[in-house]
Amino acid sequence: MNLNKYPAEPYRIKTVETVKMISREERAKVMKEAGYNTFLLNSEDVYIDLLTDSGTNAMSDKQWAAMMMGDEAYAGSRNFHNLEKTIQDIFGFKYVVPTHQGRGAENLLSQIAIKPGQHVPGNMYFTTTRYHQERNGGIFVDIIRDEAHDAGIDVPFKGNIDLNKLQALIDEHGADNIAYVCLAVTVNLAGGQPVSMQNMREVRELTNKYGIKVFYDATRCVENAYFIKEQEEGYADKTIKEIVRETFSYADGCTMSGKKDCLVNIGGFLCMNDEDLFNEAKELVVVYEGMPSYGGIAGRDMEAMSVGLQESIQYEYIEHRVKQVRYLGDKLIAAGVPIIEPSGGHAIFLDARRFCPHLTQDQFPAQSLAASLFVESGVRSMERGIVSAGRNKDTGEHHRPKLETVRLTIPRRVYTYSHLDVVADAVIKLYQHKEDIKGLRFVYEPKQLRFFTARFEYID
């Protein structure tokens, strides 16, 4: 293996968790029982679990040691102050409100920053983010560059905001009718695609002209920083920490799911610089999460998040992380399997439209492909297409994203290149008899965030 292209793991393994593979017959049985929804499988039946990178991180020895330093006082825990100091140092925001996970922060921000009827432009939707925006009367508008909706186009910084789309929205509705710009680094549903520093700077300049606030979804901001260092002119010699700090200098605040780039299993936070907004967030956090000094997580979890955040900005860690994901993408591309290109920061997305051209989007090709991959190999993945997109809340029609994908999401510090070889071989084998993948229909469709608990059956 070329160790520059695919560096060895920058860690050694101290604790192991045994995985086992059940038979194909058993996998077919449990997949049917789970209504062909990979979210409804039991973890024990899964061989390699690429459902999500959320909360599935392996913590370091230092994080486990930090867990023992939990100050579980109801109020004023020293772990909160440690976390606050780390976030202030790395992100540069003045105020921090801890939450139980990312959607807790999204709930607070959407309640305090959106007036009913206002637009919330963003670089592609994310499921929980859009849900909270709409629940608070916001109208989500996708202003990502067009290329992001096309799996086959390989361009750098595919997650960038299209400034013309943002300008057109301001011209049409007026700045007062825009709650804030929601800018995600990286863009999950576009394939983990990064946003360039230049784009963030330009979004700031444009929004400053109109007095519009910009809140970032910081969930995978360290992965984004790595792409900037690797690919944007002028950043090769900067540290990941310097790039993260500059990233957030163009924002008024952010929401964070700590379950990704903070290298923990639970936690999140909301940040901002505006004192009035901070006071409002503090008033609300006690309703939904807990005291402003714990926000729905234990003291020990805040301590682990503080240590994890510091570990995540270490170059060796993040270089291996992004290149490990790319290793899987490169193997699939070499075998002719259609994926979103370029490979993103946290996952490889199979392009189900090209994988299953014999199925229409109404037959849920990505949902079915994810189910088949599990039956064939024991690898669990996740649908990220029409099922995840849900329905338009006014018309009741399906949202129909151009990207109909299956996400192979790589947990941080958990699997080795050998596991990814197994995954690649399984996908390639399935691709060779892709015509056998059958369409699905709903037998149970939840009203909101349906992908989590929906059930399906095969169409005869």
Which of 86, 257 has the CB closer to ligand PM9? 257
**Shortest distance, CB of residue 12 to ligand PM9, whole angstroms?**
28
Give the Å distances, CA to CA, from 309 to 45, 66, 132, 254, 344: 32, 13, 26, 15, 20
- DSSP, res 232: S
The pair of three-digit structure tokens given for residue 59, joined into one six-digit string: 């913590």
In the three-class reduction of DSSP (H, G, I as helix; E, B as strand; rest coil), residue 316 is classed as: helix
Q: Which stretch binds ligand PM9 (CB under 6 A): 82-90, 100-108, 244-252, 361-369?
A: 100-108
**Shortest distance, CB of residue 48 to ligand PM9, whole angstroms?**
16
Q: Which 250-269 positions form the footprint of ligand PM9 (CB under 6 A)?
A: 257, 259, 268
Q: Does 219 bind ligand PM9 (CB under 6 A)?
A: yes
Q: Which stretch binds ligand PM9 (CB under 6 A): 84-92, 99-107, 151-159, 168-176?
A: 99-107
Q: Which residues partner with 48 through β-bridges? A: 379
CA angle (333, 426, 41) in 5-degree steps: 120
**Shortest distance, CB of residue 383 to ligand PM9, whole angstroms?**
10
Edge-to-edge strand ranges of the sheet holding 119-122? 95-99, 268-272, 253-257, 214-217, 181-184, 119-122, 139-142
Residue where the block lists tokens 């905001």: 161
Q: Which stretch binds ligand PM9 (CB under 6 A): 124-132, 288-296, 312-320, 354-362?
A: 124-132
**Shortest distance, CB of residue 388 to ligand PM9, whole angstroms?**
8
**Shortest distance, CB of residue 126 to ligand PM9, whole angstroms?**
5
Question: CA-CA distance, 41 to 19, in Å (whole number)?
Answer: 15
**H runs (alpha helix) in 232-274:** 240-249
Q: Which stretch binds ligand PM9 (CB under 6 A): 65-73, 77-85, 95-103, 140-148?
A: 95-103
Candidates 126, 140, 157, 248; binder of ligand PM9 (CB under 6 A) is: 126
Catalytic residues: 74, 126-127, 217, 260, 384, 451
Which of 101, 343 has the CB closer to ligand PM9? 101
Q: Which DSSP string corresponds to 374-418?
A: HHHHSEE-EEESHHHH-B-TTT-PBP--S--EEEEE--TTT--HH
Q: Does 188 bind ligand PM9 (CB under 6 A)?
A: yes
Question: CA-CA distance, 415 to 392, in Å (whole number)?
Answer: 37
Q: Does 86 bind ligand PM9 (CB under 6 A)?
A: no
Question: CA-CA distance, 87 to 210, in Å (whole number)?
Answer: 28
Which of 170, 222 has the CB closer to ligand PM9? 222
Q: Which residues partner with 383 through β-bridges? A: 406
- DSSP, res 56: -
Q: Which position's Cβ is nearest ligand PM9?
A: 102
The pair of three-digit structure tokens given for residue 357, joined into one six-digit string: 């051209």
Q: Does 327 bind ligand PM9 (CB under 6 A)?
A: no
Candidates 35, 98, 102, 401; binder of ligand PM9 (CB under 6 A) is: 102
**Shortest distance, CB of residue 268 to ligand PM9, whole angstroms?**
5
Q: Which 31-60 positions form the footprint of ligand PM9 (CB under 6 A)?
A: 52, 54
Q: Does 226 bind ligand PM9 (CB under 6 A)?
A: no
Question: CA-CA distance, 382 to 52, in Å (whole number)?
Answer: 7
Compute how many other C-beta atoms are within 10 angstroms of the C-beta atom of residue 444: 12
**Shortest distance, CB of residue 79 to ligand PM9, whole angstroms?**
19
**Residues of the shown chain interacting with ligand PM9 in the complex, contacts defined by CB under 6 A:** 52, 54, 101-103, 126-129, 184, 188, 217, 219, 257, 259, 268
